[in-house]
Structure 1
Amino acid sequence: IFAFFFVTVSSRIVGLIGVTSNPTSGMTIASLLATSGIFLLFGWTDDTGKAAALTVGCVVAIAASIAGDTSQDLKTGFLLGATPRRQQIGELVGVLTSATFVCLAVILLDKAYGFGTEELPAPQATLMMVVIEGVLQNALPWMLVGIGVLIALVCELFKIPSLPFAVGVYLPLSTFTPVFAGGLLRMYLEKKSSSKEEAQARREKGVLFSSGLVGGEGILGIGIAAVAFIQGNAPKGFGYEWAGVAAPLVALVVFGLLVEFLRRSCLTKE
């Protein structure tokens, strides 16, 4: 039932705006809260109940994600003039391929580092674990939940999107700092643009550049995890141990150079 309704929401949002606006995390957490609450009423609070609640959350998350991705693909295919038959074939191949490699990547990361470790903190998974255990064990700090609801209402009153705000609150600072820096850079470049067309062109270049960074970081992370799994430990030269006490300064310099490179890439005329 949750998947049915959230698939509709996901498809419509992505179709109107884009895949980056798909609130998958919010829909998953809402499903976990509702499912765990129902299980609590029926007394299904053992490990089997926790696994069942997590399964429901996984189904909702995957269904919403696939629905949004499919909506984005079909919209793009329509704009490019692709036929429905070819799009259906592409979607089937894409689902099977992504399901296979995502499962392999998750298993590889778990074997190499383990979830919840310093190398793989998995903050969203930790949040969902807290939600399930808190509701089923009747130990969820409802006062904090109520405070969060009030903060979300205040954000909406001031026209601030509450979901990105909440994501920025629970994600680690190290994870969200690049997002904040990218937002500041985008705001700066758009304000310095002489026209809406120039601002849009700069924004698109920044999105392409950032997408490459995200994709490259993911591929490199999987590669390092594969080497760590084969060797039994992380390959030498990666990480921050080699820099010693100067590691924060080195990281700041590299990050600053990357931001400057992104800025220059957005300002190019090509």
Structure 2
Amino acid sequence: VAVAARIVGIVGVSSQPTSGITLVTLLGVASVFAAAGWVDESARAAVLTVGTIVAVAASKAGDISQDLKTGYLVGATPARQQFGQLIGASFACWAVAGTVMLLGTVYTFGSREIPAPQATLMKTIIEGVLAGALPWGLVLSGVGLSITALLCGVSALAFAIGVYLPLATMAAIYLGGCVRALSDQRARPQEKGNEEQPKKDSANPGILAASGLVAGEGLAGVALAGLVAAQVVPRTMAPRLPGLLGEVAVLVLLLSVCVFLYRASRSG
């Protein structure tokens, strides 16, 4: 819980290490079960149940840390926010379950649209540890790399998240970080001793615009799945701009988004 809240506060909710924390939990619990001789099907279900509990706890930790920061920016009362969290969670659990069922029905988990690599890795860890066939050399190599990064002055947690997350995800985060760094570098120097400055920086229009893009992407994906389920649009379709022309169009669109975020950040 503490690790999830910390990494969300440092990087953002897009890098929340829920799956990584869950994998570590599965590895530890499965090792205990294997040492105790519990290796049947019920033991696998028990390990997965423990991992599910940890995953939910880590997800809520990151979500609550974001909500409390947002409440600080708008001047909300933490106690009332907690009450709102209880109300929201009672409805969100049904919404999440419905969304997962919708995506699984439309695209099928494990397909090209939803490859679900974390689920496959979790299955491999549980079966590998309980069957005594897990490649511990690779696991220990990862531990060694994290220790080396820590000794070099690099945050081991941030380093591990960067290695673990897919390149497609990290590339977008890195590009967004470059835009933010460029905006901060060109920002006009602020007067020292201004206590309101941290709040103004956190409420930067560029951050608000980027948050809208993140939320919009998620909503658009669910809406598209709903349209596919209703057979309004096909599940797959040929690209309108194939080949090099399509790649150039995507690059231009990406640069346009970067310019938009940069200008939005500068407007604050």
- TM class, shorter-length: 0.7 to 0.9
1:216 aligned residue: 216
Q: 1:139 to 1:41 in 2, by over 3 A?
A: same
118-127 or 136-145, which moves further after superposition? 118-127
- TM-score when scaled to structure 1? 0.81
2:250 aligned residue: 251
Deviations 1:165-185, CA, capped at 9 Å, x for gaps: 223323332222111111122
How far did 1:74 drift? 5.4
Deviations 1:102-148, CA, capped at 9 Å, x for gaps: 11001100001011221112233333233222222222221111111
- TM-score when scaled to structure 2? 0.81
Consecutive unaligned residues of structure 2, counting only runs of 5 or more, are 191-196
Q: Which has the higher contact order (CA 8 A, sep 6+)?
A: 2
2:23 aligned residue: 29
Q: Given that residues 203 and 266 in structure 1 are in contact (C-alpha distance below 8 angstroms), is that contact kept between their aligned partners in structure 2?
A: no
Matches within 5 A, 1:58-77: 58-70=52-64, 73=67
Q: Given that residues 5 and 61 in structure 2 are in contact (C-alpha distance below 8 angstroms), is that contact kept between their aligned partners in structure 1?
A: no
Q: Distance in 1 between matches of 2:77 and 2:87?
A: 16
Q: Distance in 1 between matches of 2:172 and 2:76?
A: 36
Q: 1:88 to 1:255 in 2, by over 3 A?
A: closer
1:186 aligned residue: 180
AA in 2 matched with 1:262 = L
Q: Given that residues 125 and 134 in structure 2 are in contact (C-alpha distance below 8 angstroms), is that contact kept between their aligned partners in structure 1?
A: yes
How far did 1:265 drift? 1.1
1:205 aligned residue: 205
Q: Distance in 1 between matches of 2:3 and 2:115?
A: 27
Q: Given that residues 17 and 161 in structure 2 are in contact (C-alpha distance below 8 angstroms), is that contact kept between their aligned partners in structure 1?
A: no
Tell me the SS of whatever aligns to 2:230.
helix
Q: Distance in 1 between matches of 2:78 and 2:178?
A: 40
Q: Given that residues 26 and 163 in structure 1 are in contact (C-alpha distance below 8 angstroms), is that contact kept between their aligned partners in structure 2?
A: no
2:194 aligned residue: none
Q: Given that residues 112 and 232 in structure 1 are in contact (C-alpha distance below 8 angstroms), is that contact kept between their aligned partners in structure 2?
A: no
Deviations 1:15-54, CA, capped at 9 Å, x for gaps: 9879748653443222111111112123333333222211
1:105 has 2:99 as partner: yes
How far did 1:76 drift? 5.7
Consecutive unaligned residues of structure 1, counting only runs of 5 or more, are 1-5
How far did 1:205 drift? 2.9
1:264 aligned residue: 263
2:77 aligned residue: 82
1:117 aligned residue: 111
Task: State percent identity of aligned pairs.
Answer: 39
Q: Distance in 2 between matches of 1:83 and 1:257?
A: 38
1:234 aligned residue: 234
Name which of 48, 58, 63 aligns with 2:42.
Answer: 48
Tell me the SS of whatever aligns to 2:25.
helix
Q: How many residues align?
A: 259
107-116 or 135-144, which moves further after superposition? 135-144
RMSD (CA atoms): 3.2
Q: 1:221 to 1:23 in 2, by over 3 A?
A: closer
227-236 or 96-105, which moves further after superposition? 227-236
Q: Given that residues 187 and 266 in structure 2 are in contact (C-alpha distance below 8 angstroms), is that contact kept between their aligned partners in structure 1?
A: no
AA in 2 matched with 1:164 = A
Q: 1:257 to 1:68 in 2, by over 3 A?
A: closer
Q: Distance in 2 between matches of 1:249 and 1:268?
A: 28
